[in-house]
Structure 1
Amino acid sequence: MSKLPGNAGVSVLGDKSLEFYRDPVHFCRQRVEKHRSRVFQCRILNRPTAFICSVQGMRELLCEKSNLFLKDPTDLMTNMYGDTVITTNGEEACLLRLSLSSLFTGSCLKSSNDYITSGQPQCVYSAFKRLGTELVLGLFLNVRAEEQPELFQEISQLCTLHWHGLISAPVSLKVPLWSSGYSTALDARDKLMDIIKDKLENDKQGFVGSLGSLPLPDSSSASQHLLLFISALIPKALASLLTSFTLALSGDQQLLNNMNIYLLVHEQTRRRLLEDPDYLRLVLLEVQRLWPPFIGGRRIADKDSTLAGFPVPKDYGAIYISHSVHRDPEVFQQPDDFLPERWSGRNAGQEHFLCSFGNGPRNCIGTKLTDVFLKEACMYLLNHYDWCLDPPSQDLEYKWLPVSRPANTPTVSFTQLDQTPSDRSNDTS
């Protein structure tokens, strides 16, 4: 068996975490080319770590050998959210998933349909994030911006502060007139938990009411999961994908070249999307493939194992990189090109090769909700607006952490479309 390419380095001095977090896409691309392998090793978070940049390796890590590669019980997600369906391991994780899965299907999701199409989204990342925040707070906590503006604003601000705990050094420090980002995040978490516990005790309607009645392990489990569901994770993911979708369909040829995509003529593409709902599915799959909202995820080897034919010793880390997996040339021909038709051709039925929201038995429990929201929001945009970059020339270079999006927030001008009565009657929104 071939040795895992690369070098794990020495403790502390050989750590490459800073280089990785500065530009994870360049970091992985450079090493894939250097080692001529889409699986390699180096030291991250002071732990020897296997980097997985191939579809085969990702499928083994997250699906076929998911029982051998576990969530890290000491990571920041556990510190910030407690024991939830995404941070626990083994039987506990399976039981939590079984209990919660019923809340992400059927009537609980149908109730979100009217809510998520009620606004008029604008094409800037911050506007889409606001739309996503309205979605999660309305759906999961029964807090709507138009009905309880002060509470909505308070929770939104606390969620932002809490999110910063995931991207801050885990050092809790307070001195007069100053607190570390991590300490501020912990304070925000405590305030959010107070609001959540009050909701669980007094609100018996909708998702929050259903969650409170589930047979969960202990009294704190419902509140910890609700904290996860209303966090900034979902709004940021939705904002990332909607921003990429809007930019991809901006119709600007220079932009298309910069983003390495080759769409049909803008008007033809738009017409096809409106007339063929399945084509919208293909476009959204391709948006997710090229611009996954999250860079990947991390596991710890519980036993000696292998990934893609390379040995991975016990206690090694294993990180799958969604951006690289989605560009695996052995699976995706012309991997850097925007080709929605690939999903009805060579890659038809291979949606399970994507890992934007994880994969296998531990994939994101809210994937269906995300799909519903994205399709509704995109159809609303297509039915009501045309748009273009404003100004036409903008820096659209992406940053990939903590959530993928252009490093400089793009600004887009929307033009409302004229609709005939028959058009409005056929409007899916």
Structure 2
Amino acid sequence: MSKLPGNAGVSVLGDKSLEFYRDPVSFCRQRIEKHHSRVFQCRLLNRPTAFICSVQGMRELLCEKSNLFLKDPTDLMTNMYGDTIVTTNGEEACLLRLSLTSLFTGSCLESSTDYIDSVSDRCLKDLSNSGEPVCAYSAFKRLGTELVLGLFLNVRAEEQPELYQEIAQLCTQHWHGLISAPVNVKVPLWSSGFSTALDARDKLMDIIKDKLENDKHGFVGSLASLPLPDSSSASQHLLLFISALIPKALSSLLTSFTLALSGNEQMRQQALEEPDFLHRVLLEVQRLWPPFIGGRRLADQDATLAGFLVPKNHGVIYVSHSVHRDPEVFHEPDSFLPERWSGRNAGQEHLLCSFGNGPRGCIGTKLTDVFLKEACMYLLKHYDWCLDPPSQDLEYKWLPVSRPANTPTISFTRLDPTRSDRSKTS
């Protein structure tokens, strides 16, 4: 057992939160090089914090020793969403997972496919119509928003356009509460971002409660019938499921997918013809460009991670970008190599943590996988694409969701419709 490398600093003055949130990737890279360790400590959110940038440390934190590291009850997610499967701990979290799992698996998952297909067609069919390069990220975010509001809230853009637009706008305002200073201030003609987010949350909850009372079909009806701990739990979870988190994650991954395959017709054709290869491409996209930077826990007692002592009450943050580039596990960690998932890393999807891992991993991972594959297959069947202009700054920003800091523009060219037919029979 070794002491954590680095220095936890002194209260307030030694805090490195601004430096971390400004550029978490550079922050971790510099300290990994300085300490010659993928586990180190700094002061974050004015708490001594262990940073986990190795696969071994991540697996211990999220899987083998998950009961020793708890979600922070003062986390901003609790303020914005209440007690949900994401924010609770212990037995309550386990019971919520048991109750909610059925909504994201089996027949519920299968029944979503037709709607996912129809939304993909409606949102992506016009990418080439203007003849001009488009901001793919915006198109993908619209796709994600339509999917989420249609599947989870029974509000479909083509059937209730005004209500859809109202909810989409409120979800965006609510999301900004997660990236604003938690200061609830209102004065004439001005409100803080956090205050605006709380107002949006209250309006969304009114809509959600009305839906839960009056809609008896689909996801809303199924959620309302589940054995949940109290009367507010269904509405709080529905607020979580329709939040901007999922559309932003989808648009992040779809943007990275289109950039990774931009101009590479051979790889796109192989992904179209071979579902297993498409799966490997998406694993590699997720590995290199995880939509979320990671997650945070608190040590409930003295424990070890990757051989280092983590004292009780220390914060612990796993950094997905760094974990996914652990050279002990991923050869040529900075290279886009889908073939690694049929070779050296075959069967090791469980070593990724884009959506968490272990018993507290994202409950909607399978549904997200269906979303992604359907959207990617639509793009592969109907378009060629390339960066336009060819030279663009694709440097990523990693918070609050990963994507190029300067939104890239892409030219899509509609394919001969017989091409996909030929690929099916070849």
TM score, norm. by length of structure 2:
0.95
**Cα deviation, residue 275, structure 1:** 1.4
Give me the whole-angstrom Cα distance separating, in 2, the residues matched to 1:110 and 1:144. 19
Question: Do the aligned residues in 1 keep the contact of 2:63 with 2:357 (CA within 8 Å)?
Answer: yes
Give me the whole-angstrom Cα distance separating, in 2, the residues matched to 1:142 and 1:424. 37
Give the residue type in structure 2 aligned to 1:341: E
Question: Do the aligned residues in 1 keep the contact of 2:137 with 2:251 (CA within 8 Å)?
Answer: yes
Give me the whole-angstrom Cα distance separating, in 1, the residues matched to 2:36 and 2:175. 36
Give me the whole-angstrom Cα distance separating, in 1, the residues matched to 2:422 and 2:148. 28
The answer on 1:57 being equivalent to 2:57 is yes
Structure 2 SS opposite 1:341: helix
- The answer for the alignment partner of 2:377 in structure 1 is 379
**Cα deviation, residue 107, structure 1:** 2.2
Give me the whole-angstrom Cα distance separating, in 2, the residues matched to 1:172 and 1:250. 44
Question: Do the aligned residues in 1 keep the contact of 2:70 with 2:298 (CA within 8 Å)?
Answer: yes
What does the per-residue CA deviation read over 1:101-138, in whole Å, with 9 as the maximum and x for residues that have no partner? 00001222222212222224246111101100000000
Give the residue type in structure 1 aligned to 2:376: C
- The answer for the alignment partner of 2:346 in structure 1 is 348
Give me the whole-angstrom Cα distance separating, in 2, the residues matched to 1:351 and 1:270. 22
- The answer for the alignment partner of 1:31 in structure 2 is 31
- The answer for the alignment partner of 1:156 in structure 2 is 168
The answer on 1:138 being equivalent to 2:136 is no
Give the residue type in structure 1 aligned to 2:68: L
CA separation of 1:380/1:92 partners in 2, compared to 1, >3 Å: closer, same or farther?
A: same
**Cα deviation, residue 420, structure 1:** 2.4
Give me the whole-angstrom Cα distance separating, in 2, the residues matched to 1:199 and 1:426. 42
Q: 1:286 aligns with which of 278, 284, 287?
A: 284
- The answer for the alignment partner of 2:194 in structure 1 is 182
Give me the whole-angstrom Cα distance separating, in 2, the residues matched to 1:171 and 1:51. 27
- The answer for the alignment partner of 2:130 in structure 1 is none
Structure 2 SS opposite 1:117: helix
Give the residue type in structure 1 aligned to 2:220: V
Give me the whole-angstrom Cα distance separating, in 2, the residues matched to 1:116 and 1:413. 24
Give me the whole-angstrom Cα distance separating, in 2, the residues matched to 1:111 and 1:376. 14
**Cα deviation, residue 421, structure 1:** 8.9
Give the residue type in structure 2 aligned to 1:65: K
Equivalent positions of 1:334-373 (< 5 A) are: 334-373=332-371
CA separation of 1:33/1:69 partners in 2, compared to 1, >3 Å: closer, same or farther?
A: same
Equivalent positions of 1:108-127 (< 5 A) are: 108-118=108-118, 119-121=122-124, 122=127, 124-127=136-139
- The answer for the alignment partner of 1:242 in structure 2 is 254
The answer on 1:219 being equivalent to 2:231 is yes
- The answer for the alignment partner of 1:169 in structure 2 is 181
Question: Do the aligned residues in 1 keep the contact of 2:252 with 2:291 (CA within 8 Å)?
Answer: yes
State the number of aligned residues.
413
Structure 2 SS opposite 1:72: coil
Give me the whole-angstrom Cα distance separating, in 1, the residues matched to 2:184 and 2:310. 34
- The answer for the alignment partner of 2:131 in structure 1 is none
Question: Do the aligned residues in 1 keep the contact of 2:273 with 2:424 (CA within 8 Å)?
Answer: no
Larger CA deviation: 171-180 vs 391-400: 391-400
Structure 2 SS opposite 1:67: helix
**Cα deviation, residue 426, structure 1:** 4.8
Give the residue type in structure 2 aligned to 1:382: L
Give me the whole-angstrom Cα distance separating, in 2, the residues matched to 1:218 and 1:120. 37
**Cα deviation, residue 267, structure 1:** 2.4
- The answer for the alignment partner of 1:101 in structure 2 is 101
**Cα deviation, residue 274, structure 1:** 1.5
Give me the whole-angstrom Cα distance separating, in 1, the residues matched to 2:114 and 2:258. 22
Give me the whole-angstrom Cα distance separating, in 2, the residues matched to 1:290 and 1:133. 24
Give me the whole-angstrom Cα distance separating, in 2, the residues matched to 1:162 and 1:142. 20
What does the per-residue CA deviation read over 1:330-353, in whole Å, with 9 as the maximum and x for residues that have no partner? 000000000001001010111000
**Cα deviation, residue 271, structure 1:** 1.9
Give me the whole-angstrom Cα distance separating, in 2, the residues matched to 1:14 and 1:422. 58
Question: What RMSD, in angstroms, separates the aligned Cα atoms of the two structures?
Answer: 1.3
Give me the whole-angstrom Cα distance separating, in 2, the residues matched to 1:425 and 1:70. 49
Give the residue type in structure 2 aligned to 1:177: L
What does the per-residue CA deviation read over 1:180-199, in whole Å, with 9 as the maximum and x for residues that have no partner? 00000000000000000000
Give me the whole-angstrom Cα distance separating, in 1, the residues matched to 2:356 and 2:268. 30
Give me the whole-angstrom Cα distance separating, in 2, the residues matched to 1:420 and 1:386. 14
TM score, norm. by length of structure 1:
0.95
Question: Do the aligned residues in 1 keep the contact of 2:123 with 2:139 (CA within 8 Å)?
Answer: no
**Cα deviation, residue 424, structure 1:** 8.4
CA separation of 1:312/1:250 partners in 2, compared to 1, >3 Å: closer, same or farther?
A: same
**Cα deviation, residue 215, structure 1:** 0.5
CA separation of 1:177/1:419 partners in 2, compared to 1, >3 Å: closer, same or farther?
A: same
CA separation of 1:139/1:424 partners in 2, compared to 1, >3 Å: closer, same or farther?
A: farther
Give me the whole-angstrom Cα distance separating, in 2, the residues matched to 1:373 and 1:112. 10
